[in-house]
Amino acid sequence: MKNYKLVILVGYAISFMGILVMTISYFRESLGLFFLGGFLMFVGLIAIISLMSLNLFFKDKELEIEKLRQMGLTIVVCKNCFKENVLEDQYCIYCGEKLGSDEDELQEEHKT
């Protein structure tokens, strides 16, 4: 997400505006301003939570290949989506296809 910090900042600004409008509604004794402020605060918080969740989801799928190689893990390319994965995982983290080498598949065929 390229503009993640900017969009999160806008979400905080909208929430802060909602709190400000709710505060003004107290002094103006306006129920309409109170509900408008509550709505703005709600929209801002939902935007922040949604973007943070999406960012966490996308970061979870990023592999640091060099660190994984230093740890001694084998890196393979998925036959279905052609993205790099760790061989020790059974399934591709991107498409869900079963990972393994051709030798593993041949061994499974000979067992049956």
For residue 85, what is the enclosing H or E element? strand 84-86
Q: Where are the domains of the chain?
A: 4-60, 65-111
pLDDT < 50 regions, the chain: 104-112
The rounded distance, in Å, linking the Cα atoms of 102 and 112 is: 16
- What's the confidence (pLDDT) of residue 39? 94
Q: What ranges in 1-112 are assigned the alpha helix state H?
A: 4-28, 31-60, 65-70, 102-111
| CA separation for the pair 86, 104 (Å, rounded) | 15
Q: How is residue 76 written in tokens?
A: 């393979």
pTM: 0.53
How far is it, in rounded angstroms, from Cα 11 to Cα 56?
A: 17
* Cα–Cα dist 106/71, whole Å: 28
Question: What is the distance, to the nearest Å, from the Cα of residue 92 to the centroid of all Cα atoms in its chain?
Answer: 17
Structure confidence at residue 24 (pLDDT): 93
pLDDT of residue 62: 63
